[in-house]
Amino acid sequence: MDTPSYELTLAERDNYLVQIEAQIEAKRNLLLGKRKFLENTLKENQFLEGVKNDYHKYYDYIAKQKMDELRAMGILKQYTDDLIMSTQLTEQGIKQTKQDQQDIMNEMTKIKKALDEIVDPKSGQHM
């Protein structure tokens, strides 16, 4: 059994080589395009990484501020408790101190809610 002969004419062979060269060029262009895309993506990712790091610094700063506010309000509340317990206030002074204490508690509730929103963004709005 003879194997078929696949001899190409000179024109067919030239045409075949042109097609192969075109495919090689197309693949080269595709790879260059992918390389450019990857380079751009890398630049964008580095930029986004910087944005993420800045956001984390801001987040930590805001959370610390809220914690500091909460501690300060706790100190004020303790002070008003001590004033009421010392009974050195007049009746009007006690009423005012109790009102101040209620204002402090309300402010502490607001600060705690804001801190919870910062720490757990799923709980509501976040800064």
Q: pLDDT digit string (tens) for 82-91?
A: 877 776 667 7
Is 3 contained in some domain?
A: no
pLDDT at 23: 92
Domains contained in the chain, number: 1
Distance CA 25, CA 45 (A): 30
Domain extent at residue 98: 10-121
Mean pLDDT along residues 45-49: 83
Q: Is 16 within the bounds of a domain?
A: yes
Mean pLDDT of the chain, nearest integer: 81
Is the residue at 127 inside a domain?
no
What value, to the nearest 5°, has the Cα angle with vertex 82 and ends 97 and 70?
80
The answer to whether the beta carbons of residues 115 and 68 sit under 8 Å apart is no
15 lies in some domain? yes
Q: Look at residue 122 in the predicted model and tell me its pLDDT.
A: 66
Residues sharing a CB contact under 8 Å with residue 69, sequence separation 6 or more, in sequence order: 111
- Report CA-CA distances (Å) from 109 to 63, 76, 84, 88, 99: 15, 14, 21, 28, 15
Confirm whether 74 is domain-assigned.
yes
Residue 27 belongs to some domain of the structure: yes
Q: What is the pLDDT of residue 125?
A: 46
pTM of structure: 0.50
- In percent, the amount of the chain with pLDDT more than 90 equals 5
What's the rounded Cα separation, in Å, for the pair 18 and 42? 36
- What pLDDT does 4 receive? 54
Residue 35 has pLDDT above 70, yes or no: yes
**55 assigned to some structural domain:** yes
Is 5 a domain residue?
A: no
